[in-house]
Structure 1
Amino acid sequence: MSVRGRYFRSLVAAVFAGVFWVDAALAQSGEAGCRFEPVEGRQILRCQQGLTIIVEGGASFTLEDRDRNGNADAVRLRRKALLIEAPAGGVQGGFVVVTPQAIAAVRGTKWAIDAGQGKTSVFVIRGRVAVQRPVSSAGVVLAPGEGVDVERGTGALTVKRWPAKRVSALMARFGQ
């Protein structure tokens, strides 16, 4: 198995290890090492270890502390989008986002993930992100400027370079 394959499998496997649920409202009071900062129609979630999550207004998600060390290392995203910046080495074991259609895992990067209407879209700004369906061991690794749309089903995931218009529309949702 390639190094990339082992990296991907270890990050994805970690999401299923002991999960501790932290509601976003509790995170505001310091649970999971995070605090919210409201910013015009969205919130910025700043966590220990340098992790920053910009939350689109109306997003539905739950923070998780898989290794029970008091710091967020995963998110279950149900609706809308998050823009995540996870510095290399900041989150021990990497950072994972789980949606109904996809699992996306990283170690040091800046990327966006959008869940809704039967699909999850993942776009990478900096670094690399491994993406797979929850019921599949096959996945893809995205590089900067690449994205993937993960819909329900079992077909292969197709990595595409996203056009500037699509990237701009996504980033505008975060005030970027």
Structure 2
Amino acid sequence: MKTFCYAAALVALFSMGLVVPAQAQVPPNCTVEPATDPDRELLRCAFGLLIEIEAAAALEITGEVSPDAPTAMDLNSGAAFIEVEPGAARPQIRTPHAIAAVRGTVYVVDVTETTTSVFVVEGEVTVSKVDDQSEAIVLGPGDGADVGGDTTLEANVWPAERARSLLARFGR
């Protein structure tokens, strides 16, 4: 199992051409690059996956990694903007509260200590609770869900201001 942890130091080392530490391996056919305004890191993969992650977020690749794509990633804190080309890699994004399964789409996953929020920009994402995967919902464009504690899992059209605020964290 390969692990990939984002950190500001990793991006600095990678961009300077220095050796990346063994615990912070980049998946095959992927590159890491910094982005600014706001500060974040981009994992860009040849197999049709782009993940932008906030500088303070923690993302690990935990599933099988091959040239075709990782199968699962754990986002334990912070937010990630995920863009998956239709028919491309479809890794699950797992958080302490939820699992977001990609169907070729653009979406955001935001993790706090008590809640995971998933918002879909385009396409579809299946969301389930980590401890009850039988109760899954499908989110479409403009839909969001908050998962945590004893809350009922349901899709809601997010107010424009909430969506705008979340997307602004990624310069959108």
TM-score range, shorter chain: 0.7 to 0.9
CA–CA distance in 2 between the matches of 1:108 and 1:89? 6
Deviation at 1:164, TM superposition (A): 0.7
After TM superposition, which residue ranges in structure 1, 4 or more long, deviate above 3 angstroms? 25-31
Question: Aligned to 1:21, what secondary structure does the other structure show?
Answer: coil
TM-score by length of structure 1 reads 0.80
Structure 2's unaligned 5+ residue stretches are 15-19
Q: Distance in 1 between matches of 2:127 and 2:140?
A: 11
Distance 2:54 2:66 in 1: 27
For residues 161 and 80 of structure 2, what CA distance do their matches in structure 1 show?
19
Structure 1 residue aligned with 2:94: 98
SS of 2:141's equivalent in the other structure is: coil
Matched with 1:47 is 45
Matched, 1:143 2:143: no
- 1:168 offset after TM fit, Å? 0.7
Q: CA deviation at 1:63?
A: 1.6
**Aligned 8 A contact 2:26 2:32 in 1:** no
- What's 2:61 paired with? 63
Q: Alignment RMSD, CA only?
A: 1.9
Q: Which residue type is aligned with residue 59 of structure 1? A: A
- Give distance in 1, aligned partners of 2:120 and 2:103: 13
Q: Deviations over 1:25-72 (max 9, x none)?
A: 689657312211101211111012110001112001102342x42432
For residues 7-22 of structure 1, what are the structure 2 equivalents within 5 Å?
20-22=1-3
Q: Quick check: 1:106–1:130 contact (8 Å CA) kept in 2? A: yes
Deviations, residues 13-33 of structure 1 (Å, cap 9, x unaligned): xxxxxxx23223689657312
Which residue number in structure 2 is paired with residue 118 of structure 1? 114
Q: Give the distance between the partners of 1:22 and 1:111, measured in 2 at CA.
A: 23
Work out which of the residue numbers 66, 72, 86 in structure 1 matches 2:84: 86
Task: Return 5+ residue gaps in structure 1 as ranges.
Answer: 1-19
> What amino acid is the match of 1:149?
D
Alignment of 1:32 with 2:23, yes or no, is no
Contact 2:100 2:128 (C-alpha < 8 Å) held by counterparts: yes
* Identical residues among aligned pairs (%): 37
* Counterpart secondary structure, 1:24: coil
Q: Do the aligned partners of 2:144 and 2:155 also contact (CA within 8 Å) in 1? A: yes
The structure carrying a bigger helix percent of its residues is 1
**Is the 1:50–1:90 contact (alpha carbons within 8 Å) kept by the matching residues of 2?**
yes
